[in-house]
Chains A and B, each alone.
Chain A
Amino acid sequence: MLKILRVTFAIISIVAITLLFLDFTGVAQGWFGWLARVQFIPALLSLNVIAILSLIIVTLLFGRVYCSVICPLGVLQDVVNNVRGWIGKKKKRQNRFKYSKPQTWLRLAVMTLFIAMIIMGVANVVMTSLASFIEPYSVYGRIASSLYSPLYDTGNNLLADYAESQGSYDYYHVETYTSMPVMIVAVVSLLVVSVMAWLGGRVYCNTICPVGTILGYLSRYSLLKPVIDTTKCNGCRKCERNCKATCIDAKNHNIDYTRCVVCMNCIGKCSTGAISYTYRRPKSSVKVVKVAVDKDLNEDRRNFFTIGAMVTAISVAKATDKTIDGGLAPIVAKAEPQRAVRIVPPGAISLSNFESHCTACQLCITACPNGVLRPSTALSTFMQPVVGYENGYCRPECVKCSSVCPVGAIKPISVADKSAIQIGRAVVRLDACIVSSEGKKCGNCVRNCPSKAITMAPKNPNNIASNMMPVVNEAKCIGCGACEYLCPVRPLSAIYIEGNHVHKTI
């Protein structure tokens, strides 16, 4: 019963969190956005006191349910584990776990290092960046955004093609921008976590994961926990053999509660009802039952769900882009200018605030409808989002990234706030501008500037007939990139945005 409850909530939770990364319409965000915000490290980084306190209280009451239900990476490992249970010879796949000694020093060392890196991250971006490699929520985020998302979008685009053929507007095309480095990191993370789960159950959670360590030591003192009633135990060791956290020492009737993720598998397996999830403490053993030899273990029907099979069958496909018509002039793709200061989205407050909070979970990147946010490839800010205007610009009506960020790297802002936040400012390359150098008509930057920060003025102040040039009033420019995106000069625009270290209110 308890296990069914756990499995049900875990499925709902992982599906909901995955949808956050897939659904580009914002519906999922409205429903499940809070699930990203209660993830432990994001809550910690955004100083979300309510979420952290709730998580601590839940852990003190029920043990590590966080790891079993809320953490998507934890649930993913259970999925892999379940799949493992269906494959291979019966003898090898059933009752395959065995108690292992705790890696206390390794756990504490990794956790300490992680916390140190987060704290140092305030001063040194590389530290946050490194820490995010093992942060469970971000690891899962990268897997979802760079591996599931292209598949999801391809499916959507097929539907959009069909809808178009039927004259319906129910589905529309979306463009998927994939980043090779992030995809490689995601594939490697997925492989490492999956292999660990395949071979040893929750070994990642109980040796590497800093959240697992923190919550593990808290759950030692939890009110409810699985307890072995030694009077009922017949020493069959079925509990130990089915404990994916390998934390039950059946021989000594000991459970290592720092590693137990309260999956309730042992309770269901125990044929004598010796294990119960209770507030009672284990009684001192009066009589130790001899440990029986493994034999004749009933084949329990595994609680299965088929989503797991799909997870391993991930391939990355992308719908082919429509070829350009022959009667149309070819368009050269835009190139990203070399910016002295990189641009981060409005709401980030400053580069340092942004970099010390961001765990590179990719949620904002998948949420961006304008193709503006993409993962950075720079080493110091690896995989953190960075703004670029080759595929679109930061549109005035959109504040999606600020509304989804769970770690407080991008603080929530309103559309009105956005119109007054300067994330960078436009810089004109006069020698490249066709109005200035060739005297052609253009002014597209002026026409499309949402904050009316650009005007055209004669190059020679004493001759109104001289060539015109775009002039930027930096006090009004918000750095949205409309001018850069819509500039006809290609591949490098004649007007581009230079980022601000600290975002200003204008």
Chain B
Amino acid sequence: MSKIKYINRRDFLKFLGAGATAVATSCITPPKKNNPNAVSNREITGEMTYRTNPSTGDKVSLLGYGCMRLPTVSTDSVREGADEINQEAVNRLVDYAIEHGVNLFDTSPAYCKGLSERAMGIALSRHPRESYFLSTKLSNFSKITWSRENSLQMYHNSFKELQTDYIDYMLLHGIGIYDADDSDGLDAMATYRARYVDNGVLDFLLEERNAGRIRNLGFSYHGDVKVFDYLLSLHDEIKWNFALIQLNYVDWKHAKEVNEKNTNAEYLYGELRKRGIPAMVMEPLLGGRLAALNGGLVTKMKQRRPEDSVASWAFRFAGTHEEVLTVLSGMTYMEHLHDNLVTYSPLQPLSDDEFAFLEDMAQLILKFPTVPCTNCKYCMPCPYGIDIPSIFTHYNKCVNDGNVVNGKDDSEYALARRAFLIGYDRTVPKLRQADHCICCGACISHCPQQIDIPTELRKINDYAESLKRNP
């Protein structure tokens, strides 16, 4: 693990000293909330940039609203708390988004513990149906939903929850994902067939498209690229209206470096472009990881565009590609929404020089030994109660803050140790920490980033153990 310097936190810790029994000196520490880099003070100056869908002529806003991380009553993302979705906050966000030109909302029957579609139905039905495009998915991941009957039930339920009689964008969800430990030994292709072909669901969806209840049919892809290539080979026959791919400045050329099993976005986008299939983009920010960079990288970005947020670089990267129809962002907070609206109203495309700069940044980011988790929580709930994404989030934060150190010889060892261990107990309850992972591997097949979760958890546990044993 490489050693990274990030002075701010260190300095005030030094200043404060470490005595836990001392008086409440912490009142002099500056407030620190969420991620300050994601917030922008800029104003929305112009009009939203729109892209045209060649098959239907839809004018789609470049910023699409991802509905996977809706706010809860406790103001945190719904998948982080036991609380209900904060419908009022969702309504406010939707109103603000529509008011400022956002017209595509992307959800799924699986999101937010299955509550996302209903919340979006409530919020969106307050607006005229023609003022927005609805995008949802057939999320029949679980084996019990593979039957035609159960898949169609899921499909029809989406209409009910979203309070609509047509879906603008319908996706086969997560093709390429499969369970390597599957008892029937199904690989990615076999899993795809079982979910959509053998049960006739794809044929059914094509009929629905002909009937006009689905205006655009596409698929979202993670995992085994064979399935992606196969579906594109069927393009002449099926006429995909769009496809949803993961695209950002790290995955553009380096997806394979992050994980052997992943595919570079450059290839995916190129294949779609060759066939004239518009690309929907997901994970433009890698679940916020590209907004929470190490301090040194933040400085480099701010030096170039002091007014712009760190997140705006990632959004400009995704949006600059002409064949991108819309960039989905899962915006939990008004600040996120506002910042993204500023970035895309209108889009200022990246220059060649800026492309090269982001490529340099990507290479620097790869040097940080962070876990490529986007906090999507597909792996949850872990049957043994481990809070996987929170463990990774804590670890990544410590890596970026320079609180992951090589050994006792490091001059900052004591402070880094304290920050890591105390922060660990704060973020993750003891019984949900990595030492309780039994490496059953149930999570692996669910991870869209193909992270070998048990191995990563074990590494983090080994690190925590080494800190605990060497005070």
Q: Give A residues with C-beta under 8 Å from B.
A: 23-25, 27-28, 156, 159, 162-173, 322-331, 392, 395-397, 440-444, 447-448, 486, 488
Contacts and interface: CB of A to CB of B under 8 A. Distances in A.
B20 A172 contact: yes
Nearest to A164: B426
A488 B423 contact: no
A396 B113 contact: no
Interface in B423-451: 423, 425-426, 429-432, 435-441
B238 interface: no
A166 B12 CA distance: 12
B422 interface: yes
B20 A328 contact: no
B464 to A, nearest CB: 12
A252 B380 CA distance: 84
Contacts of A164: 426
Given A171-B20, A327-B82, A440-B438, 6 more contacts: A167-B32, A170-B20, A322-B429, A327-B381, A329-B384, A331-B432
Contacts of B31: 165-167
5 contacts: A170-B16, A170-B17, A171-B26, A326-B83, A326-B113
Nearest to B81: A325
A168 B20 CA distance: 11
Contact of A444 (B27, B30, B438, B441): B438
Given A169-B423, A397-B471, A447 B26 contact: no
Nearest to A328: B381
A166 B9 CA distance: 11
B400 to A, nearest CB: 14
Interface string B198-214: 00000000000000000
A442 B458 CA distance: 13
Q: How large is the interface on B (under 10, 10 to 19, 20 to 34, 35 or more residues)?
A: 35 or more
Contacts of A170: 13, 16-20, 22, 25-26
B441 to A, nearest CB: 6
B16 A168 contact: yes
Given A329-B383, A397-B469, A443-B438, A166 B27 contact: yes
B144 interface: no
B430 A392 contact: yes
Contact of B82 (A25, A171, A324, A441): A324
Nearest to A162: B26
A327 B79 contact: yes
Contacts of A173: 425-426
Contacts of A396: 469
A390 to B, nearest CB: 10
Interface of B: 9, 12-13, 16-22, 24-27, 29-32, 79-83, 113, 377, 380-385, 387, 418-419, 422-423, 425-426, 429-432, 435-441, 458, 468-471
B68 to A, nearest CB: 13
B441 A166 contact: no
A172 B426 contact: yes
B359 to A, nearest CB: 32
Contacts of A163: 26, 29
A173 B27 CA distance: 17
Contacts of A322: 429
Given A172-B422, A329-B382, A162 B439 contact: no
B436 A325 contact: no
Nearest to B16: A170
A486 B437 CA distance: 9
A369 to B, nearest CB: 10
Given A162-B24, A166-B31, A329-B381, A441 B387 contact: no
A328 B377 CA distance: 10
B29 A328 contact: no
Contacts of A330: 385
A174 to B, nearest CB: 9
Nearest to A487: B438
Contacts of B30: 166-167
A486 B387 CA distance: 15
A159 B23 CA distance: 9
B439 A331 contact: no
A329 B385 contact: yes
A40 to B, nearest CB: 28
B111 to A, nearest CB: 12
B470 A397 contact: yes
Contacts of A397: 468-471
A164 B33 CA distance: 10
